[in-house]
Amino acid sequence: MFESKLAPDQQVKLSGFNNLTKILSFNLYDFCIALNEEQRAEYVKYIHDKYSAKKIEKIAEKIVEIIEANILAVSIQDYDPVGASTMTLMSDIKGGGEPIPVSVKAHLDKSHITSHTYPDASDPNGICTFRVDLDVATCGEIIPLNAINYLFEAFECDVVYVDYVVRGYTRLANGKKIYNDQKFNSIQEFIKPEIKEQFQFASDINMPQSNIWQSKF
């Protein structure tokens, strides 16, 4: 889990509510070769059972726990013949260590987790693919990157794209605008070494001046 390296008296002091929007996008791809129709059907069933809307809802619940948020509402949907979507609406449970004022709670409720799955077993050459797009969009003091190791562990991945973007601005106690409340160089800093060892590293794009980061595995 990411922790600030600054001493308490050096940490960024904000004026009121932190209204920065932080978006973590976790896009994974799984591949399998089906040599016949029986194997194709087995793969479809495997994906449907392992990554049903109900199963991904449980993954979202764990993400909420890790980033120390609070679930407000959940919506899930399975599709025929395959595929699923989920949405989890959440709020910042800590509010910076202080009770969340009613006046800002509605704004905090805009944080959410969404997921969409895209299974495909129709390739004539037997190449079966499965893609998941999962987005964690938060406001307030929640740090979605803290959930990244769990996401690697929760899904079986052959190829992974991780994107992180910070948008909007908040203000320091003296009124000055700031556009990010975290200091880090790369998404890689949040990923356990043992997880990185399981993948061939593809690229690492860091544009802190634009608050945009991407890592590919």
Question: What does the DSSP assignment read for 30-86?
Answer: EEEE-SSHHHHHHHHHHHHHHT-HHHHHHHHHHHHHHTTEEEEEEEEEE-SSS-EEE
Catalytic residue check, 116: yes
- Look at residue 2 and give its three-state secondary structure: coil
Write the Ramachandran bin of 168: left for phi over 0, alpha for psi from -120 to 50, otherwise beta.
left
Which residue is catalytic, options 91, 112, 115, 139? 139
Is 139 one of the catalytic residues? Answer: yes
Catalytic residue among 111, 112, 128, 215: 111
Nearest to 208 by CA among 186, 177, 190: 186
Q: How many residues does the chain have?
A: 217
Question: DSSP string covering 145-196, please?
Answer: GGGHHHHHHHS--SEEEEEEEEES-EEBTTS-EES-S---S-GGGGS-HHHH
Catalytic residue among 32, 85, 116, 186: 116
Assign 3-class secondary structure to 97-146.
CCCCCHHHHHHHCCEEEEEEEEEECCCCCCEEEEEEEEEEEEECCCCHHH
Q: Please confirm, yes or no, whether 48 is among the known catalytic residues.
A: no
Which residues are marked as active site?
111, 116, 139
